[in-house]
């Protein structure tokens, strides 16, 4: 019992004297708001190793899934802003969801972004036997009616991507002219196009790369300015739609809004070190990701820019979910 009391006092003393100069003095909880094996999870677990070396403390990875990333995001939003609970933020949870859902329990202001480290080009694809060979074919088919697109759920990146692409290719009212068939998860969304349930989907190039390589899906375009390896399709710029360059997936790290400046600065340094790791770079790029490290300021700017773009599209088309 005596020992217990001693331990108690010692540890209380430590907590009281803790200053951010010593940060981190214990393992850091990293919340992944999506399930194991998904794009965010793989990305997070790949950076965990070099990042853990840079931090010098273990990173404890915790998948908290549900509600399109909202459950995990709220867990971090409500955590103490001491830098010991951080979030792997993703395009779906932190730019599409806030733009589309009025009842989302958080906004961008509830988080402080310390970095964005990964950009995923997006691609649109159809089944090879659909008779659609180009974006023009697709748009023509939309005018005929009966075109559907799949997504991993309402408010997902795939959802807004399809709408944004149709919108920028001049489809008058994408919500009326094409039908959205939401699926549960990105894998199911790709399967829906494979088996003919939906006509097309727009998603991260990495998640359909194997289907494209196998000839099970035919890519129509990629949203980046540069061509994507393995995707025999024109870029958005070649099609004269450079505004679609903003339609990319990303992964970043965020803390609760009150995260102290020196903690954020430390994360900036750690990320700079971690993303230099050769093994990390090799793994990520072989999966089709572009490693682009942003410091806290430019990450914030990037995310807000994408959010505003999505938000104006959502408001113009009346896509906002009020309930």
Partner 1 sequence: MSFYDSILAGISLVGNVDAFLSLFIGIVVGVIGGAIPGLSATMAVALTLPFTFPMQPINGILLLLGVYKGGIFGGSIPAILIKTPGTPASSATILDGYPLAEKGQAGKALGMALWASCTADVVSNLSLILFAGWLASFALNFGPPEFFALIFFSLTIIAGVSGDSLLRGTLSAVAGLILATVGLDLVYGTNRFTFGDSNLMGGLNFIAVLIGLFAIPEVIAMAWDPTGHLGKARSLGKSWVTFREYKDSFFSIIRGSIIGVILGSIPGIGAAPSAFLSYSEARRTSKNKENFGKGEIEGVAAAEAGNNGVAGATLIPLLALGVPGDVITAIIIGAFMIHGLQPGPMMFVLNVDIIYGLFIGLIVSSVMLFAVGSVAIRAFRYVADVPKRILMPAVLVLCIYGVFAVNNNMFDVGVMFAMGWLGYLMVRTRIPAAPFLIAFILGPLLEDNFRQSMLMSGGDVSVFVRGPITWAFWTFSIIALFAIYKSIRNAKTA
Partner 2 sequence: MLKVLFKGLNRWLGVFTLIFSAFFAFYAIPNWVYSPSNIRNIVLSPTFWPYVLAGILAFSGVALIITKQTPSTDQDTPAPAIGGMRPYMRLVILAIIMGSTMYLLPRLGMVWTTMLTFVATAFFFGTRYPKAAVVSAILVPLILYAFFAHVAGVAIPQGNFVRLP
User: Least Å distance between CB 291 and partner 1?
Assistant: 16
Note whether 179 binds partner 1 by CB under 8 A: yes
Residues 120 and 80: their CA atoms lie apart, in Å, by: 31
SS3 104: coil
Are the beta carbons of 256 and 79 closer than 8 angstroms? yes
Total residues contacting partner 1 by CB under 8 A comes to 60
Q: Which of 22, 37, 57, 62 binds partner 2 (CB under 8 A)?
A: 62
Q: Which of 56, 131, 215, 323 binds partner 2 (CB under 8 A)?
A: 323
- Among partner 1, partner 2, none, what binds residue 287 when CB lies within 5 to 8 Å by partner kind? partner 1
DSSP structure string for 191-238: HHHHTTSSSEEEEEHHHHHHHHHTTSSEEEEESSSSPPTT--S-BTTT
Q: Which of 3, 17, 18, 29 binds partner 2 (CB under 8 A)?
A: 29
Query: Which residues in 13-42 contact partner 1 (CB under 8 A)?
Result: 31, 35-38, 41-42
Note whether 298 binds partner 1 by CB under 8 A: no
Note whether 105 binds partner 1 by CB under 8 A: yes
Q: Which of 153, 252, 256, 296 binds partner 1 (CB under 8 A)?
A: 153
154: left (phi over 0), alpha (psi -120 to 50) or beta: beta
Cβ contacts of residue 263 below 8 Å, gap of 6+? 20, 23, 82, 83, 255
Q: Report the candidate in 76, 68, 298, 240 with the shortest Cα–Cα distance to residue 160.
A: 68
Could you give the angle at which helices 296-317 and 157-168 cross, rounded to 10 degrees?
60
Q: Which of 166, 193, 194, 263 binds partner 1 (CB under 8 A)?
A: 194
Note whether 195 binds partner 1 by CB under 8 A: yes
Residues 174 and 271: their CA atoms lie apart, in Å, by: 39
Q: How many CB atoms lie within 10 A of CB 206?
A: 22
Q: Which of 28, 74, 161, 201 binds partner 1 (CB under 8 A)?
A: 74
Backbone phi, then psi, for 133, in 5-degree steps? Answer: -115, -10
Half-sphere exposure of 181 (CA within 13 A, CB side): 17
User: Least Å distance between CB 17 and partner 1?
Assistant: 28
User: Least Å distance between CB 60 and partner 1?
Assistant: 9
Query: Which residues in 145-174 contact partner 2 (CB under 8 A)?
Result: none
Q: How many CB atoms lie within 10 A of CB 193?
A: 27
Both tokens of 302, joined, read 């990037």
Q: Which of 20, 49, 60, 298 binds partner 2 (CB under 8 A)?
A: 60
Note whether 160 binds partner 1 by CB under 8 A: no
- Among partner 2, partner 1, none, what binds residue 154 when CB lies within 5 to 8 Å by partner kind? partner 1
Kindly tell me which of 148 and 237 has the beta carbon lying closer to partner 1. Answer: 148
Q: Report the candidate in 107, 70, 39 with the shortest Cα–Cα distance to residue 288.
A: 39
Q: Report the candidate in 32, 101, 27, 25 with the shortest Cα–Cα distance to residue 253.
A: 32
Note whether 321 binds partner 2 by CB under 8 A: yes
Q: How many CB atoms lie within 10 A of CB 267?
A: 27
Q: Which of 4, 144, 184, 278 binds partner 1 (CB under 8 A)?
A: 184
Give me the residue label for tokens 């390589």: 213
Note whether 146 binds partner 1 by CB under 8 A: yes
Residues that bind partner 2 (CB under 8 A): 4, 7-8, 11-12, 26, 29, 60-62, 321-323
Footprint on this chain of partner 1 (rule: CB under 8 A): 31, 35-38, 41-42, 45, 48, 62-68, 70-71, 73-75, 100-101, 103, 105, 146, 148, 153-155, 179-185, 187-188, 190-192, 194-198, 209-211, 213-216, 283, 286-287, 321-323
């Amino acid at each position: 019992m005596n020992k217990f009391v001693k331990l108690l006092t010692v540890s209380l003393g430590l907590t009281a004297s803790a200053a951010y100069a010593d940060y981190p003095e214990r393992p850091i909880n990293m919340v992944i708001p999506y399930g194991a094996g998904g794009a965010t999870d793989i990305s997070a677990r790949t950076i965990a190793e070099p990042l853990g070396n840079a931090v010098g403390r273990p990173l404890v990875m915790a998948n908290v899934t549900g509600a399109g990333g909202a459950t995990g995001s709220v867990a971090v939003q409500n955590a103490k802003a001491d830098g010991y609970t951080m979030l792997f933020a993703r395009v779906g949870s932190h730019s599409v969801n806030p733009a589309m859902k009025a009842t989302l329990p958080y906004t961008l202001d509830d988080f402080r972004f310390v970095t964005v480290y990964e950009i995923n080009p997006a691609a649109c694809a159809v089944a090879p036997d659909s008779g659609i060979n180009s974006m023009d074919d697709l748009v023509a088919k939309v005018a005929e009616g009966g075109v559907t697109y799949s997504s991993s759920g309402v408010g997902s990146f795939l959802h807004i991507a399809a709408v944004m692409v149709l919108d920028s290719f001049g489809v008058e009212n994408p919500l009326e002219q094409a039908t959205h068939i939401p699926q549960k998860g990105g894998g199911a969304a790709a399967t829906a196009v494979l088996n003919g349930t939906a006509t097309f989907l727009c998603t991260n190039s990495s998640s359909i790369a194997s289907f494209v390589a196998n000839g099970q899906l035919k890519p129509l375009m990629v949203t980046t300015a540069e061509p994507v390896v393995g995707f025999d399709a024109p870029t958005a710029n070649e099609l004269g739609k450079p505004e679609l360059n903003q339609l990319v997936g990303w992964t970043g790290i965020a803390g609760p809004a009150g995260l102290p400046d020196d903690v954020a600065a430390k994360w900036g340094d750690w990320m700079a070190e971690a993303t230099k790791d050769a093994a990390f770079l090799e793994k990520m790029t072989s999966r089709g990701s572009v490693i682009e490290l942003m410091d806290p300021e430019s990450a914030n700017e990037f995310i807000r820019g994408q959010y505003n773009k999505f938000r104006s599209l959502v408001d113009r088309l009346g896509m906002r979910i009020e309930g």
